[in-house]
Amino acid sequence: MDVKIDILTLFPEMFDIFNYSIIGRAISKDILQINTFDIREFTRDKHRKVDDYPYGGGAGMVMAAQPIVDCIRKVKCQNDGKVIYLGPRGKTFNQSMAKELSKESEMIFLCGHYEGIDERVYKYVDTEISIGDFVITGGEMACIPIVDSICRMIPGVLAKSESYMEESFYNGSLEYPQYTRPECFEGDNVPEVLLSGHHENIKKWRRMKSLVITKNRRPDLFEKLKLSTEDKKFMDLYEKNI
């Protein structure tokens, strides 16, 4: 499966991070294509300006429509995917969105900067995504974790599907505790169940630990979980013994 992701940005060098680790390996295997397009290359301004003062006054600068729209049009000639703008008005990104977007074969991400983009650019945008209710320097900062999260779930990117299926948030809960060698570190031992080799017991232990951690640290997530009969029995017992 070959997935194409094109990123429109003022700072293409920021995305060199995708040349490393898991995503880098997927690119080298031709599972992924991640391309960057410098919006400055599309400006008609002789000084390569891509921003200007906002009409009506106000602090900061606004990215102009012309270079962004021309860049989108160019990329659209080779990418039929949705144009996704990283901005504050969008829905907050989560694992469910990552799952859905990982099914797309082509995507275009637009990174805003300064005080945002000219409102007239929005007619070329299919959807807007935010990473939360806080201010960051530019869309590049949001684009990197979003693209990484999406790519991890594309078939072939990770060695095993279980690698992401058991991670925090994939099924709505936080991940269970993990241990590695040595078996005893500064008097703190690895739980015996993990050394038992009994896969069913290990699976149950991990599920129970995941539920407890989620309830204690992210009660908002816990409230949304669909608990099995066994889950409910365990949590009832846990509550009685707190």
Q: Is 56 a known ligand-binding residue?
A: no
Contacts of 159 (CB under 8 A, 6+ apart): none
* Measured distance CA(239)–CA(208) in Å, rounded: 13
Q: Is 134 a known ligand-binding residue?
A: yes
Q: Is 131 a known ligand-binding residue?
A: yes
Q: How many alpha carbons fall within 13 Å on the CB side of residue 141?
A: 12
Q: Mutual orientation of helices 139-151 and 21-28 as an angle, nearest 10°?
A: 70
3-class state of residue 128 by DSSP: strand
Q: Residue 188 is encoded by which pair of tokens?
A: 């703190």
Q: Is 117 a known ligand-binding residue?
A: no
Q: Mutual orientation of helices 229-240 and 199-217 as an angle, nearest 10°?
A: 60
Q: Is 57 a known ligand-binding residue?
A: no
3-class state of residue 104 by DSSP: coil
Contacts of 133 (CB under 8 A, 6+ apart): 92
The β-bridge partners of 107 are 5, 82
* Measured distance CA(196)–CA(183) in Å, rounded: 13
Would you list which residues are annotated within the binding site? 112, 131-136
Binding-site residue set for S-adenosyl-L-methionine = 112, 131-136
